[in-house]
C-alpha cells in the first residue's frame, strides 16, 4: 500500500522522528486492532452475562408468581444467553409444548412475552379455538425433546 504523504519537517531531528514514527505505524496498527478485538470480546461476554441474568430473573418470576410475563427478555437476548427453548402450555387444554426460539421467525424487537398470542395450540385449532399460550420457563435444552 502506498504510504500517505507527510510534509517533510524542516529540521533534521524532526525528519528522523517522523521516519521512526512511520516505521512503527504498522506495528501500532496491529496492536490497536488486537486491543480493539479483546475489548469487543470482553464486551460481548458482559452482554451475554447480562442476557443470562435477565433470563434467570424472568424464569424466577414465572416460577414464583406465574407472571406478569411482561417485561421479558427479547428472543435474541434469550438465544444469546443460551436459553433457546421456551416451555409453554395451552391455556385451554393445558397441553405442554417446547418452542425452539431460534427456529421462530422474528424481528429483533420481539420479546418473549410477545409470543403469548402468537403460539397457538394445534389441538385447539382443530376444534376452532384460538386460546393464548401460557408461558412457563426459558430453557437451555428442550424440556420435552419436542421439536417446536
Ligand atoms: Zn389447547
- Would you state the pLDDT for residue 146? 53
For 63-132, the DSSP string reads HHH-----S--BHHHHHHTT--EEEEEETTT--EEEEEGGGS---TT-BGGGGTTT---HHHHHTT--PP
CB contact at 8 A, 84 and 101: yes
- Would you state the pLDDT for residue 148? 45
CA 120 – ligand 1 centroid, Å = 8
Domain chopping of the chain, boundaries: 44-139
CA 125 – ligand 1 centroid, Å = 7
CA 67 – ligand 1 centroid, Å = 20
- Would you state the pLDDT for residue 83? 98
CA 39 – ligand 1 centroid, Å = 48
CA 109 – ligand 1 centroid, Å = 27
- Would you state the pLDDT for residue 138? 98
How confident is the prediction along the chain (148 residues), in pLDDT tens digits per residue? 566 788 888 888 999 999 999 999 999 999 999 999 999 999 999 999 999 999 999 999 999 999 999 999 999 999 999 999 999 999 999 999 999 999 999 999 999 999 999 999 999 999 999 999 999 999 999 876 555 4
Dihedral, CA atoms, 34, 35, 36, 38, nearest 10 degrees? Answer: 90
* 140 vs 81: CA distance, rounded Å: 9
CA 130 – ligand 1 centroid, Å = 8
Amino acid at each position: 500500500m502506498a504510504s500517505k504523504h507527510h510534509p517533510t519537517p524542516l529540521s533534521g531531528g524532526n525528519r528522523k522522528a517522523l521516519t521512526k514514527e512511520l516505521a512503527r505505524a504498522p506495528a501500532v496498527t496491529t496492536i490497536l486492532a488486537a486491543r480493539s478485538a479483546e475489548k469487543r470480546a470482553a464486551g460481548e461476554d458482559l452482554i451475554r452475562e447480562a442476557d443470562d441474568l435477565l433470563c434467570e430473573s424472568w424464569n424466577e418470576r414465572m416460577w414464583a408468581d406465574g407472571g406478569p410475563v411482561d417485561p421479558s427478555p427479547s428472543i435474541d437476548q434469550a438465544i444469546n444467553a443460551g436459553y433457546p427453548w421456551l416451555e409453554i402450555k395451552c391455556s385451554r387444554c393445558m397441553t405442554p409444548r417446547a418452542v425452539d426460539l431460534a427456529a421462530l421467525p422474528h424481528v429483533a424487537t420481539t420479546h418473549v412475552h410477545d409470543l403469548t398470542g402468537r403460539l397457538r395450540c394445534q389441538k385447539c385449532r382443530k376444534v376452532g379455538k384460538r386460546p393464548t399460550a401460557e408461558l412457563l420457563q426459558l430453557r437451555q435444552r428442550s424440556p420435552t425433546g419436542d421439536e417446536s
